Amino acid sequence: MSYNYEKIARARESTSEDELLNLSQDSDKFVRIALARNKNIPLFILENLSRDEDADVRYYVAGVIHLPTSILERLSKDEAVSVRWMVAQREDIGEEIGEVLSRDRNGDVLIALASNIGIGERILERLSGDRDYEIRKRAIDNINNKRMREIMKVERELEDIYWREVYYGAEIADLEELSWRDWMDDFIEIKEKIISIDGK
């Protein structure tokens, strides 16, 4: 297979709307893929590419930064697994699209979603009960990591309060309000769940 490197380069770098529109209709999918990666691409052309007949083009569109929700919603229901997998990895998809993907029948899509740190705990809790071992483990690990980040955040708050008191004589807030023990209890529960799954 031969590549038209000159045309591909124009597709990636051009700022001319007329040229970009023409390139979006090029018969070479690699030109259209390069176009999807162009930071100057107008939204309406990106919209057209999200409906491209070639799944590889739609796959690259699904990876574009700051993609509108309307395009993400459509790509989350794409017939190609690779496209849905790419969407499932995005941290900015939100709860509604996350819900759609959580009902996907493809294991690779669900694994990608369960590993996504941007997904809410409600969806992750459901995935943690999936029949597939890898999906369960990824979801539980993700929940565990989220809780751990929260614990570290509370610990930093406690430390900040302490050092402000030591060095600046600031008034100490009621430490019980931070409820760090509740977080620790949740963390231990998740860890026990991971151990029980690993032992199966």
Phi, psi of 51 (to 5 degrees): -110, 10
Q: What's the mean pLDDT in 167-174?
A: 50
**Is the pLDDT at 18 greater than 60, yes or no?**
yes
* pLDDT score for 149: 77
Share above pLDDT 90 across residues of the chain, in percent, rounded to a whole number: 68
Write down the domain spans for the chain.
1-49, 131-200
| Helices H / strands E in the chain, number of each | 12, 0
- Per the rule left: phi > 0, alpha: psi between -120 and 50, beta: everything else, 66 is left
pLDDT tens profile 22-80: 999 999 999 999 999 999 999 999 999 999 999 999 999 999 999 999 999 999 999 99
Q: Is the pLDDT of residue 172 over 50?
A: no
Handedness of CA 39, 43, 46, 50 (dihedral sign): positive
